[in-house]
Amino acid sequence: MPRVTRAHTVAHHLVQGGLTDLKLSEAAQMKDRPGLYREDGFSVRSYHAPDGTLLTVAGAYGPDWFMTLAQIRHRLEQPYIRYAVTDDAPELRDHELLVRWATGEELRARRQAAAARQAPVVALLRHQEAERAAEDAGQSALF
């Protein structure tokens, strides 16, 4: 059973990431279209999963709501925030994401994917450091 995800905690993480909280009521979130708002931002509401766990739905609003949706996903899936974001819950609309705590397996997979993306850069940096150390020792690379 997933851990409870509180809406105010998710909203706090998003605000800390530079997003604007529109603080829409749940009724407004359920009936309004995301493009009706002049300012890009988000709003959160509670969601009860089929197993009874309280989770959070984060919705993106504004003229560029699709970009805001991507920013929400990116912010909440940072390793130090530890949420998992999905868009496949039955009652979600196109501009909404379901937020829950990430499992240990998901976090490990994210770390491995990040390490794989960074491996070429790390290898290049290590090679440059080795060349610099050789030059400092009075040796030069022979070509």
Which pLDDT tens digits describe the chain residue by residue (143 residues)?
567 788 899 999 999 999 999 998 888 888 777 888 888 999 999 988 888 888 999 999 999 999 999 999 999 988 888 899 988 877 888 899 999 988 889 889 888 988 899 999 999 999 999 888 888 877 665 55
Task: Please state, as a whole number, how many other Cβ atoms lie within 10 Å of the Cβ of residue 132.
Answer: 10
Q: What is the pLDDT of residue 76?
A: 93
Locate the domains of the chain by residue range: 7-102, 103-137
CA distance 88 to 142: 57
Edge-to-edge order in the sheet of strand 96-101: 41-48, 54-61, 96-101, 83-86
Predicted model pTM? 0.77
3-state SS, residue 35: helix
